[in-house]
Amino acid sequence: MRLAAVNPIPGLFTIAPADRDHEGGLRVGVPVLVPLLVLLATHRMDLAVYAVFGAFTGIYGRNLRHGPRLQAQLRGGGLMLAVLAAATLAGRLGVSEQVDPWGLVLWTTVLAGVCAFVTGWWGLRPAGSLFHIFAFGAVASVPVKPPAA
């Protein structure tokens, strides 16, 4: 019997060999950096939160071939776009950390369930709704929204 089976604590202090993890980091890091640099150059950092969460689409389909990866990224991007639109609408309707924090918790919880279901149904990896929860909460709580038109 291995020691880790009896005592899991030593496993918390080991680092396993990388399994192409840098590819995922680059797939997210570069698409986040480029829009932020463009926003910085155009003095539109008010849009940074939208650009950052939109760039997270690059995490979907990490180990898939090109066709299925494109499909996963389109689905993931469409879902993230829907989350960002819902968060912007919720923020404009007063569901935010400043105005209605419990409403924000309620709607973020509902969104978490819906996004977890959708990512599981579509077979997206990473599964779950972690990025969607952060996106909804952050965007809904942005104090000054960009103009709607």
pLDDT at 21: 73
pTM > 0.75: yes or no: yes
Range of the domain at 30: 17-140
Give 133's contacts (C-beta < 8 A, 6+ positions apart): 108, 111, 112, 115
- CA neighbours within 13 Å on the CB side: how many for 89? 7
Q: How confident is the model at residue 109 (pLDDT cuts 50, 70, 90)?
A: very high
Is position 35 within any domain?
A: yes
Three-class DSSP category at 2: coil
In a domain, 108, yes or no: yes
Domain count, the chain: 1
Residue 32 pLDDT: 87
Work out the average pLDDT over 132-144: 88
- pLDDT number for residue 5: 64
For the ranges 46-50, 74-78, 109-113, 140-144, which has the lowest average pLDDT? 140-144
Q: What one-letter code names the amino acid at 42?
A: T
Is 56 domain-assigned?
yes
